[in-house]
Amino acid sequence: MAKKKLKRKHLSKQSRPSFNAEGNSKPPIRAALKSLWSPRGFRFQAVFLTLLSFALYINTIRNEYALDDGLVIIRNEYVQEGLGGISDILTKDAYDSYYRQLNNTNQLKGGRYRPLSILTFAIEQEFMGAPDQDSVEANMNHIIQFGMNPDQRNRVIHEMHIRHFFNIIWYTLCVLALLYFLRYIVFRNNPIVAFVAAIIFTVHPIHTEVVANVKSRDEIMSLLFICLTFIGTFKYQELGKKWIYAAALLSYFLALLSKEYAITLVILLPLSLYLFNRNSISRSMATFVPFLIPIAAYLYLRLQTSVSASETADTEVLNNPYLYASAADTLATKIATSFNYLRLLIFPHPLSADYSYNSIPYKNFSSPLVWLSLLVHLGLLAAMLRFFPRIQGTATLKGSGKREAQLTDYRSILCFGIAFYLFNLLLICNIFFNIGGTMGERLIFHSSVGFAIAAGFLICRGFELIKEKRARRFLFIPTMAIIILLSGYKTISRNAEWKNDETLFSADLKTVPNSVLVNGNVVTALVNDADLLHDSTKRRAYLVRAVALADHAIKLDPVYVAGFFNRGLAWFKLGDLDKAKSNMDSVKAHFFHYPLLPLMYRQIATMYGQKGLYLYANAGRWADALDEYGKGIRADSTNAELWYQSGIAYYQLQDLDRAVTAWQTALKFKPGYSDALRNLNFVLNLKNNDAQRRK
């Protein structure tokens, strides 16, 4: 009996039976369900975040394509080839296909080697239907020269609906990996704080660009595999199984292939081992040594695919946004711009898909914003160092009081959160690495993890100061509900603006009215959509507005090639051929090999010919007709029809020598042109007969 009592005395709390009010043990199913759906449990939190992710982004499935989707997916021949394009995706720059179509070379320093997300697009294309290589090339040529026909556009839109659905799946997986990372590593003693931090990350409206713009899947996949790398490394230290370590190394390699952010783990992974696993500094660094293998493999692949940027890359303000700023103003602007990220994380409104030149005016060191940004970021750096705990090992921690252990945990959490924010920010702030742009909402995706860690911790810490548990719960749940509802409203409404280029840039034009790129993209949408309108008044209004916005963009950037081209196209559709040709001449002056120029010159030349024929030649105004033919020939000197009509005009004006020359030139560009040959022979015989009479 004594033995049995002793045994019962040492039963753990978890192994003791539960009793209800009547003294009977609780049904095991009910107890299991209660455990399963506890807000502190991973299952409950994972299901909640999955439903929340879908609720926030389900409306993106109706979206089409916008921003860089066209360059990376639709006009990327390697993606369109499906599985057949994988070797090119793995061995070429992300924009290789686009540059070749423009008859250009790499415009971004260091290139862009991010094959993993592009590989997923190719796999999707294979299952949605990938044409053979010849068909892909024919489709690309047609799209480049004439744009998409209705059938192509409908097919692409249907495919983009599917890709948007997969983007939500990837985002949800990323959120779940982040939740596990926060629960298992950062907030291992407080799953509710981990849940709050994960909710803040999930609902933050600044992530709309990453999810709603399919091309930005590289950001999602990068963070997903970074989280898996952390988890795998900590699991290895816990369980000691080598296959887990190998899985962590593979995850790290995949994170690097997704995007360059994973390089920050050189510091962040050893730091996390020191802060949360209480490893010594030397052991933390030693654990990271094998990760140098995937880094070396990634750098080798990147160097194999890298192509030097063209000599003109730095002379284009859209690739070098600080082109017109002095060295001092460049640094001041970069410092000030870095503060915009923190501002948008705290208050995400208004949002924009573009912050290129001249959406963010240049700053100098007399600007208060520069010094505010400098003060804030130096303050964050000082706080990170201040919170960095001195950990001598687990023995010291166990020997300390509970209060001291909690303080160490708090310092570790805040130190790591700030470090995660700052080290990822270093890659995108332009101060140390040139990213070819000023800023972008998608670029703060990784740093926002650090923000979510700090925000989740501070929110929960603030509620802990309320001593009364009932009052704490009464205030906490509505507060989180308000955060979710307000962020959700902003997220869902912003998703709708990402439907296509027209909706996106029309909305962003109100936010960044001086952005060259936004103005230019609205011009493109207006010019393209004008052809879909049957009402001539509305069509003209679209084109007139396009010209006005193009004027503004070119005023901001006097060498904006796309602005000249689209303004010329708008004037062409408005019937002003002189202005259309003048704009095409400006395109030619700045980008001689612009791929659409030959087509536009041919179309302009044809319209000059029709104007000369129907407006002047048919009325007997031969000199005026000849003037129009001459303009057309200056646009396209190989147009045989213009040379033929010029010959007729010269003949009517009794200039037989020039008529002969014109018809001979027509025959040069169109051998066997029967009308030109007949007229030429007639005039030559006439001249010969006249010469005979004179003899």
3-state secondary structure labels for all residues of 262-317: HHHHHHHHHHHHHHHCCCCHHHHHHHHHHHHHHHHHHHHHHHHHCCCCCCCHHHCC
Instruction: Give the chain's residues under pLDDT 50.
Output: 1-25, 393-401
The answer to whether the pTM exceeds 0.85 is yes
Tokens representing 117?
A: 């997300």
Q: Nearest Cα to 160, choosing from 89, 214, 122, 207?
A: 214
> Could you give the C-alpha distances from 296 to 218, 263, 282, in angstroms and in order?
20, 11, 22
Question: Do 79 and 125 contact (CB within 8 A), yes or no?
Answer: yes
**Closest C-alpha among 426, 224, 436 to residue 319:** 436
Q: Output the CA angle 207-213-214, nearest 5 degrees.
A: 115
Tokens, residue 373: 């940004």
Inter-residue contact 210 to 216 (CB < 8 Å): yes
CA–CA dist 7, 211 (Å, integer): 56
Where helices occur in 400-535 by DSSP H, the ranges are 402-426, 447-464, 469-497, 501-511, 516-530
Which amino acid does the sequence have at 335? I
pLDDT at 473: 85
Cα 379 to its chain centre, rounded Å, is 30
Question: Which residues lie closer than 8 Å to 655 by C-beta, 6 or more apart?
Answer: none
Tell me how many helices (H) and strands (E) the chain has: 33, 0
Q: What structural domains and CATH numbers belong to the chain? A: 69-188+206-305 (no CATH), 325-393+400-495 (no CATH), 515-591 (1.25.40.10), 602-694 (1.25.40.10)
Other C-beta atoms closer than 10 Å to the C-beta of 528 total 17
Q: Which amino acid appears at position 23 of this protein?
A: G
- Amino acid of residue 112: R
Q: Which CA distances in Å does 685 have to 652, 692, 693?
A: 17, 10, 12
pLDDT tens track for 530-557: 888 889 999 999 999 999 999 999 999 9
What pLDDT shows up at residue 111? 73
| Separation in Å, CA 11 to CA 14, 280, 648 | 8, 36, 111
Task: Let me know: does 448 contact 204? Beta carbons within 8 Å.
Answer: yes
Residue 19, SS3? Answer: strand
Measured in whole angstroms, the distance separating CA 626 from the mean position of its chain's CA atoms is 50
Spatial separation of the C-alpha atoms in residues 231 and 162, rounded to whole Å: 30
Give the residue among 372, 501, 373, 353 at the shortest CA–CA distance from 430: 373
DSSP collapsed to 3 states, 190-213: CHHHHHHHHHHHHHCHHHHHHHHC
Residues 681, 687: Cα–Cα separation, whole Å:
10
Q: State how far the Cα of 622 lies from the Cα of 625, in Å rounded to an integer.
A: 5
Q: Provide CB contacts within 8 A for 8, sequence distance 6+.
A: none
Are 84 and 130 within 8 A, CB to CB? yes
**How far apart, in whole angstroms, are the C-alpha atoms of residue 94 and residue 112?**
6
pLDDT for residue 99: 77
Q: Which amino acid is at 295?
A: I
224 with 78: CB under 8 angstroms?
A: no
Q: How many residues does the chain have?
A: 695
Cβ atoms within 10 Å of 254's Cβ, excluding its own: 20
- Quick check: helix, strand or coil at residue 325? coil
Query: Is residue 219 a contact partner of residue 445, using CB atoms and an 8 Å limit?
Result: yes
Residue 307: burial class (beta carbons within 10 Å; 0-12, 13-18, 19+): middle
Distance between CA atoms of 278 and 185, rounded to whole angstroms?
12
Residue 255 confidence (pLDDT): 98
Within 8 A by CB and 6+ apart from 148, the residues are 156
Task: Report which of 692, 634, 351 is spatially closest to residue 497, judged by C-alpha positions.
Answer: 351
Q: List Cα–Cα distances, 98 to 73, 79, 504, in angstroms.
A: 10, 12, 22
Determine the pLDDT at residue 4: 44
